[in-house]
Structure 1
Amino acid sequence: MKKTFLVVAFALIGSAAMAQSGSGFGVKAGLSYNKNGDLISSVGDGGQDIVEGASGKAGYHFGFWGKLDFPKIYLRPELVYSKTKSSYDIDGDSQDYDVSKLDMPVLLGYKLIGPLHIFAGPAFQYTLKNDLEGLTVEDVENDFTVGLNTGVGVNLGRLGLDVRYERGFSENEAEIIGDNITDVSGRVDSRPSQIIFALSLKL
């Protein structure tokens, strides 16, 4: 009985892995837990710098992917719209910093066993919008940046599940300006650091 159960279990795992094997394309969406870099603010005319670390908040993404499949490895480029959100304590108030961007990860994956695989690769990022509640954000240092994606995934039929870590390679500061002369001004680092949970569907 145990042998029969094991044979059936391995057959199901194998068929699930094969269902999403092979080259193709699909759609994906998911949630992320995001944390941008430090907010460095200058208060009033005193020139006092206050450095605030970000508190992470949930974000989301959706997009498309393609896949070139080989016996033990695969190449998977993606085009994804992402929205990240972090929170800063400014003058005692919690204010959200929203960043919208287009991501293009180019991932190289390695198939471990059955449906399990690992992957890593660069993520080319283009910033569409920066918005810090109550302040004006302008003069982003680099609209185009490069980050790193690394993670692990599992294929279940036409569905794929993965969790990955994304990190920017360098700082990417933007100037912040208050509405009044006495308001907080300074700079904020829009470099993302996030844990991403994704669900993909092969079409």
Structure 2
Amino acid sequence: MKKSFFILIAIFISSVGLAQTESTWGVKAGLNYNSNGDLRTIDEEISADGRTGYHFGVFGKIDLPIIYLRPELVYTSTKSKYDNYNGASFDMQKLDLPVLVGIDIVGPLSVFAGPSFQYIIDEDFSNARVEEIKNDISVGFNIGAAVSLGRIGIDLRYERGFSDNEAKLIHDEINTGSLTLDTRPSQVILSLSLGF
């Protein structure tokens, strides 16, 4: 699975450099409001409270007839809080590789959607130890809209993970039984980009 992820990164880099149609590349950064899934204890499910995170990365844009392709490579840091579980928080850092297909609607406005491949780099749960995550690599979906003003772009999108990706947690100080956490992202992402 990790090999597949790195192959996708290589395809992203080569597609921007070798495209025969009009293409651009650039950098992007912004904020994301994330809420991971439920924390499940032996006798209850505790919903996450969303928190603000950040992201930065690079993108390519390949203009084709009617549509455009926009592969991205983005470092993302997310945080969720579980107030009903002693104020615990879950932090996750990951590499995202969205491959978006977009269409220009009117003037500078466009809409886009596509899959996002995610590779979890690190995770931390404040009140317990993360013993294992089911999958380091998962797939999600992005949908959103963008406004392009020359070289500057602003986009707003929603991202959601497709399948369950649970983390098994161990609390070293007390015996809480089985703890699991749904690590799928559910986030609203606001980005500012600069094309070259």
What corresponds to 2:4 in structure 1? none
What corresponds to 1:131 in structure 2? 124
Letter in 1 for 2:104: K
What corresponds to 1:189 in structure 2? 182
Which consecutive aligned stretches of 4+ in structure 1 deviate over 6 angstroms post-superposition?
Answer: none
The equivalent position to 2:71 in structure 1, one of 55, 71, 77, is: 77
What corresponds to 1:122 in structure 2? 115
What corresponds to 1:16 in structure 2? none
Cα distance per residue 1:56-108 (max 9 Å; x no partner) = 000110000011112421001000000111001354x2121101100000000
Letter in 1 for 2:35: K
Instruction: Tell me, in whole angstroms, the C-alpha distance in 2 between the residues paired with 1:186 and 1:28.
Output: 36
What corresponds to 1:144 in structure 2? 137
The CA deviation at 1:129 is 1.1
Whether the 8 Å CA contact 1:178–1:185 is kept in 2: the answer is no
Whether the 8 Å CA contact 1:150–1:166 is kept in 2: the answer is yes
What corresponds to 1:178 in structure 2? 171
Cα distance per residue 1:18-67 (max 9 Å; x no partner) = xxxx411000001011010000013xxxxxx2210000000110000011
Secondary structure of the equivalent of 2:134? coil
What corresponds to 2:146 in structure 1? 153
Letter in 1 for 2:87: S
The answer for unaligned runs of 5 or more in structure 1 is 1-21, 43-48
Instruction: Tell me, in whole angstroms, the C-alpha distance in 1 between the residues paired with 2:177 and 2:108.
Output: 51
Instruction: Tell me, in whole angstroms, the C-alpha distance in 1 between the residues paired with 2:67 and 2:47.
Output: 39
The answer for unaligned runs of 5 or more in structure 2 is 1-21
Larger Rg: 1
The CA deviation at 1:187 is 0.7
Structure 1 position 67 matched with structure 2 position 65: no
What percent identity do the matched residue pairs reach? 54
What corresponds to 1:31 in structure 2? 31
Secondary structure of the equivalent of 1:197? strand
Whether the 8 Å CA contact 1:23–1:67 is kept in 2: the answer is yes
The CA deviation at 1:183 is 4.3
The CA deviation at 1:184 is 6.2
The CA deviation at 1:157 is 1.3
TM-score normalised according to structure 2 size: 0.86
Whether the 8 Å CA contact 2:41–2:176 is kept in 1: the answer is no
Rate the CA distance shift 1:85–1:194 in 2: closer, same or farther, 3 A: same
Deviates more, 1:188-197 or 1:134-143: 134-143
How many pairs align? 175
Secondary structure of the equivalent of 1:36? coil
